Amino acid sequence: MKLKGTQILLQILKEENVDTIFGYPGGSVIDIYDELYRSDIKHILVRHEQGAVHAADGYARASGRVGVALVTSGPGATNTVTGIATAHSDSIPIVVFTGQVPTTLIGNDAFQESDITGITRPCTKHNFLVRNVEELAPTIKEAFHIARSGRPGPVLVDLPKNMMASTTEYDPSTVVIKTDEPLHKASSKKYLQAMDLLKDAKNPVVLIGGGILLGKATEDLRKFIEKTRIPVTSTLMGLSGFPGTHPLWLGMLGMHGTYYANMAISHCDLLITLGARFSDRVTGKIETFAEKANIIHIDVDPSSINKNVVVDLPIVSDLKVALQQINRMLDEQQFKLNEAERQVWLDQIDAWKQEVPLTYCQNGELIKPQFVIEKLFELTRGKAIITTEVGQNQMWAAQFYRYDNPHTFLSSGGLGTMGYGLPAAIGAQCAFPDALVVDIAGDGSIQMNIQEMATAIQYNLPVKIVLLNNNYLGMVRQWQELFYDKRYSHTDMMVTPDFVKVAEAYGFLGLRATRPEEVIPTLKLGLTTPGPVLMDFRVAREECVYPMVRPGGSISEMTLGTREMTN
């Protein structure tokens, strides 16, 4: 049958089971929006194109499906770049459709023309410019396939206006996807080597990254841990990949990781790394990272292996497939755990936990931000989907909220994008309308995309914002305190809006707590009130995130605020 380009686009979106698009209209996509008017696909009108991509990203992280954004050409397209780069850094499957001027005007500096494929080439998994309407259907199909397969990532499809208005024959049975990623299957020899290392290890640790979630391997991981009783630590992106209340959970490792996680990594004799890329925030000084350990690294992306840390046993594989194979071999070989030997290792870890627990001191008249997060966890019983902005608020959310269920911690890890949390919360809420979704924010980050409060109101999305308000760019200020003799150069944000009034202006319920005794009542009211709520917690201005590993230092050398710990 003959269809217009706009009709083909909407038809394929349905075939890909897309139920929600986050977007912002404009001249070059007006034909698409006219077609959307007659479609049953839900469209969420954001207030900035960056918000559209972050919302699609949050939708993808929470649901495990491909998120979709639609924007116009020129500035609409260029406004997506930060969101695309955020998704690229964290391997999030999204497809971004951008409008483009007609093909006859490309290269002529036409109104609202930009070379968005050239601009986004470094921060997309792949991108396309559709130059022929016959290419439209296979291109869109390939975009979704590429976004979700292998190591996931963002794909951009640039749609010239005349391609959308053109007609062509469309038969879904004839659409052929040309792009295919290689299926990596590790040899049985690799798994036998892994079993030998596992049997010989006395002090093993499992390190999980975001790949455990992207690979949908959390249940297989849990089975592996039950068989082997190996303690588990995580990168920031791996949080929620293993239950945070499990006795074998060590918390996050790295620059702001727990003391006992960093000690376990520094003293283990086997490190099993699953879907992590060994970023600098995780490893600290490379030469001293897990220097006593044999390292097994399992990852779907061969380019991630031996890139930052040289490992002893690389296994290129889908994580779910790899863990299922290892679990089968454990059963087939009737793996017998040396309980006494393992208990010695776990007792050592317990001693580290008692020596330096993850703690803070809530006293006096100042609200400690850690106290707010801790009480948020208790009141939600860990059942909320948490998104974060970036900075101190993000680290406290990582440290003091426990994530028992997969895909309940959504945060910008690799790029560290301020302004991510609120639109991501909107995306997660669209994916799960009945879930409790909370954005943990700072007063600096929230202002990056605060306009998306209007989006929440327009679509009655009951997102809750927990604002840790210290009138500083907190993480930069912390570095200035510790490493620049308290020269707070342009990090003081005393001139900020009254966030309660801003919330009310948008239509949110605005609440404020200024004393510790007000924290729990404010949280209770904010979490139980229907509809969107902003809770403004005026927290201790110069509170720092501890533990902290100094930049370039070993993760075994941590600053705890009042003392240094080296082991």
Mean pLDDT for the chain?
95
Closest by CA to 90, choosing from 310, 279, 322, 280, is: 279
Q: What per-residue string of b and e applies to 385-424 under the rule 16 or more CB within 10 Å gives b?
A: bbbbbbbbbbbbbbbbbbbeebbbbbbbbbbbbbbbbbbb
User: What percent of the chain shows pLDDT beyond 70?
Assistant: 98
At residue 489's C-alpha, the angle toward residues 487 and 494, to 5°, is 110
To the nearest 10 degrees (0 to 180), the angle between helices 474-483 and 392-400 is: 100
Which whole number is the average pLDDT over 450-466? 98
Give residue 172's pLDDT band: very low, low, confident or very high (50, 70, 90). confident
Residue whose entry in the numeric block shows the structure tokens 């996931």: 152
pLDDT tens digits along 494-549:
899 999 999 999 999 999 999 999 999 999 999 999 999 999 999 999 999 999 99
Q: How far is residue 343's CA from residue 355's CA, in Å, rounded to a whole number?
A: 18
Give mean pLDDT, residues 122-128.
97
Instruction: Name the pLDDT band for 176 (thresholds 50, 70, 90).
Output: confident
**Peptide linkage before 122 cis (omega within 30 of 0):** no
Residue 475 designated active-site: yes
For the stretch 387-407, pLDDT in tens is 999 999 999 999 999 999 999
**156: number of CA atoms within 13 Å, CB side?**
30
Domain regions of the chain by residue span = 2-174, 188-355, 369-538
- Kindly state the tokens that stand for 159: 């749609």
Does position 564 have pLDDT exceeding 70, yes or no?
no
The predicted structure's pLDDT at residue 566: 56
Q: Which of 4, 141, 161, 464 is catalytic?
A: 161
Report pLDDT for 476.
Answer: 96
Question: How many alpha carbons fall within 13 Å on the CB side of residue 322?
Answer: 32
Q: Which residues contact 381 (CB under 8 A, 6 or more apart)?
A: none
The residue written with tokens 């560290």 in the block is: 416
Average pLDDT over residues 262-269: 97
Rounded average pLDDT over 103-124: 94
Residue with tokens 């028992």: 404
- Do the first three CATH levels of 2-174 and 188-355 match, i.e. the same topology? yes
pLDDT band at 565 (very low <50, low <70, confident <90, very high): low
Per the DSSP assignment, residues forming a β-bridge with 3 are 168
Tell me what pLDDT residue 263 has: 97
Provide DSSP, 44-111. Answer: EE-SSHHHHHHHHHHHHHHHSSPEEEEE-STHHHHTTHHHHHHHHHTT--EEEEEEE--GGGTTTT-T
- The rounded distance, in Å, linking the Cα atoms of 262 and 554 is 9
First to last CA, the chain: 71
Q: What would the pLDDT profile of 216-252 be if each residue is shown by its tens digit?
A: 999 999 999 999 999 999 999 999 999 999 999 999 9
Q: Which amino acid is at 149?
A: S
Catalytic site residue 227? Answer: no
Work out the average pLDDT over 268-293: 95
- How many other β-carbons are positioned within 10 Å of the β-carbon of residue 344? 12
Which residue among 14, 111, 483, 564 is the active-site one?
111
Question: Which of 16, 35, 49, 113 is an active site residue?
Answer: 49
Give the pLDDT confidence score for residue 38 in this predicted structure.
93
Confirm if 252 and 409 have CB atoms less than 8 A apart.
Answer: no
Q: Answer yes or no: is pLDDT of 345 > 60.
A: yes
Please, which pLDDT band fits residue 455 given cuts at 50, 70 and 90? very high
Encoding tokens for residue 468? 């840790």
Q: Is 346 exposed, middle or buried (0-12, 13-18, 19+ CB in 10 A)?
A: middle
**pLDDT (average), residues 195-204:** 96
Where do the DSSP E strands lie in 108-189? 126-129, 155-160, 167-169
Which ranges in 166-268 belong to alpha helices (H)?
Answer: 188-200, 211-214, 218-228, 259-267
Catalytic one of 164, 237, 263, 475: 475
How many angstroms separate the Cα of 118 from the Cα of each of 78, 129, 160, 556? 11, 10, 15, 43
Q: Is residue 363 very low, low, confident or very high in pLDDT (cuts 50, 70, 90)?
A: confident
Across 271-297, average pLDDT: 95
Is 161 labeled as catalytic in the residue annotation? Answer: yes
Tokens of 135: 């290419």
Please state the rounded mean pLDDT for residues 161-171: 93
CATH superfamily of 188-355: TPP-binding domain (3.40.50.1220)
Cα 406 to Cα 306, 383, 409, 469: the distances in Å are: 27, 11, 8, 28
Please give the pLDDT value at position 561: 77
* CATH number belonging to the domain at 2-174, selected among 3.40.640.10, 3.40.50.2300, 3.40.50.970, 1.10.10.350: 3.40.50.970
111 belongs to the catalytic site: yes
Position 183 confidence tier, pLDDT thresholds 50, 70, 90: confident
Homologous superfamily assigned to 369-538: Thiamin diphosphate (ThDP)-binding fold, Pyr/PP domains (3.40.50.970)
Please say if the pLDDT value at position 562 is more than 70: no
Buried b / exposed e across 228-254, counting CB within 10 Å, b at 16+?
bebbbbbbbbbbbbbbbeeebbbbbbb
Structure pTM? 0.96
250: three-class secondary structure by DSSP: strand
Specify whether the CB–CB gap between 239 and 249 falls below 8 A: no
H/E stretch holding 208: strand 204-208
Q: Would you state the torsion angle of the CA atoms of residues 39, 44, 45, 46, taken in this order, to the nearest 10 degrees?
A: -150
User: Most distant CA pair in the chain: distance in Å?
Assistant: 74
pLDDT of residue 318: 94
Tokens of 295: 């390292």
As a whole number, mean pLDDT of residues 152-177 equals 93
Q: How far are the Cα atoms of 102, 104, 380, 493 from residue 111, in angstroms, in the given order?
A: 11, 13, 50, 38
Residue 49 is among the residues annotated as catalytic for this protein: yes
What's the one-letter identity of residue 141? K
